[in-house]
A and B are shown apart, each in its own frame.
Chain A
Amino acid sequence: MSAPFYVSPEQWYQDKAEYARKGIARGKPIVALEYDTGIVIMAENRSATLRKIAEIYDRIAFGGVGKLDEYENLRKAGVRYADMRGYSFSREDVAGKSLANEYSTVLGSVFTREMKSLEVEILVVEIHDRGTVSCAYAGRRMSTRTLTLTINGERHEVQAETHTSLLDVIRGGWSAGMPLRDAARLGRRALAGSGNGAAIDDLDERNLEIAILDRMRRGRTFKRIGAEESRSLLSG
Chain B
Amino acid sequence: MFKGQTYAGDSFYEFLSKDHPDLLPKWAGTNWTEISFMHGTTVLAIVCKDGVLMAGDRLATEGHAVGTRDLEKVFRIDEACMMAIAGAAGPAVEMVRMFQLELEHFEKLDGQPLTFEGKANRLSFLLRQNLPAAMQGLVVMPIFAGYDHDKGRGRIYKFDITGGRFREADYYATGSGGKDARGSLKKVLRHEDLSRAEVIEAAVEALLDAADEDRATGGIDVVRGIFPTTKIATRSGVEDVADDELRRVYEGIIARRRGRE
Which chain A residues have a beta carbon within 8 Å of chain B's beta carbons?
51, 54-56, 73-74, 76-81, 83-84, 86-88, 102, 105-106, 220
Partner of B111 from A51, A86, A87 at Cβ < 8 Å: A51
Q: Which residues of A contact B23 (CB under 8 A)?
A: 84, 87-88
A/B interface sample: 30 pairs, CB < 8 A: A51-B111, A55-B108, A74-B1, A76-B1, A76-B8, A76-B109, A77-B2, A80-B2, A80-B7, A80-B15, A80-B109, A81-B2, A81-B5, A83-B15, A83-B101, A83-B104, A83-B105, A83-B108, A84-B15, A84-B16, A86-B101, A87-B12, A87-B16, A87-B23, A87-B97, A88-B20, A88-B23, A102-B2, A106-B1, A220-B104
CB neighbours of B1 from chain A (8 A): 73-74, 76-77, 106
Interface centre among A56, A74, A77, A105 (most CB of B within 10 A): A77
* B5-46 CB contacts (< 8 Å) to partner A: 5, 7-8, 12, 15-16, 20, 23
Residues on the A chain within 8 Å of B2, using CB = 77-78, 80-81, 102, 106
Closest 4 CB pairs of A and B: A77-B1, A77-B2, A79-B108, A83-B105
> For the complex, would chain A's binding face be called helix, strand, loop or mixed by DSSP majority?
helix
Q: Which residue of A lies closest to B20 (CB)?
A: A84
Which residues 92-120 of B have a CB within 8 angstroms of A? 97, 101, 104-105, 108-109, 111
> In whole angstroms, how far apart are the Cα atoms of A106 and B2 in the complex?
7
Residues of B with C-beta under 8 A to A79 = 105, 108-109
**CB-based contact B5/A77 at 8 Å:** yes
Residues of B within 8 A of A106 (CB): 1-2
Smallest CB-CB separation from B108: which chain A residue?
Answer: A79
Q: Which of A79, A102, A220 has the most CB of B within 10 A?
A: A79
- Bound-state CA distance A77–B104 (Å) is 15
Bound CA span A73–B16, Å: 18
Residue of B1, B12, B16, B23 ringed by the most chain A CB atoms within 10 A: B1
Task: Provide the residues of chain A in CB contact with B104, threshold 8 Å.
Answer: 83, 220
